[in-house]
Amino acid sequence: MPLSAVIVDDEQLARDELTYLLKSADDVNVVAQGKNGLEAISLIKEHNPDLVFLDVQMPGLDGFGVIKKLLDKKIPLPKIVFATAFDQYAVKAFEVNAVDYLLKPFDKKRVAQSVQRARTQQDAEGSPGEKIEALVRMLQAPKAQTSKILLKAVGRMFLVDQRESPPLLPGEHQPHSRGRALVQEFVPVAHG
């Protein structure tokens, strides 16, 4: 199935070049183009694309601002490929889980690699229906609730089920007769 793509860049020539290169890539359908961050948000909301090629530096709202706004508005994030002339944003791009980071001028081979990365990630994640089915199965599965406590005894830490007897201390072969008297402090641990 072809990937749907949106291109957002404030430079018309960059949008045209990327559109041209994507036409030669297998199974990519450019459904819309935008020239700024605000257009990016509305196009992503309207078209729900699989992939967005997003410029980092644009007037008004930059590429990272677009991602923040999408998250704030709870709009599902497509796969993002940052496309920019500035390599200084690469680390930040991957911190926000970008699929890839393309430097201008674009190279046909690198664009094809970005598309392949997006496709690989999409295939690995499965369809939305499969995700929902997996989530429902997980929620319906019976869960054994156990309460654990963290015990500190004789300078050592132990994670113990509350129903168990205290741990054996070094040199002991059976639980000590003093019960939990040697426990110096305990910390409840979240259920799980």
Q: Where in the chain is the domain with CATH 3.40.50.2300?
A: 3-127
Which of the listed ranges 31-40, 63-72, 125-134, 176-185 does the model predict with the highest average pLDDT? 31-40
What's the helix, strand, coil split of the chain in %, to 5? 40, 25, 40
Q: Percentage of residues in the chain with pLDDT exceeding 90?
A: 44
Q: Is the pLDDT of residue 147 over 90?
A: no
CATH class of this structure's domain 3-127: alpha beta
State mean pLDDT over 148-155. 67
State mean pLDDT over 125-151. 59
Helical pair 37-47 and 63-72, crossing angle rounded to 10 deg: 50
84 pLDDT band, cuts 50/70/90, is: confident
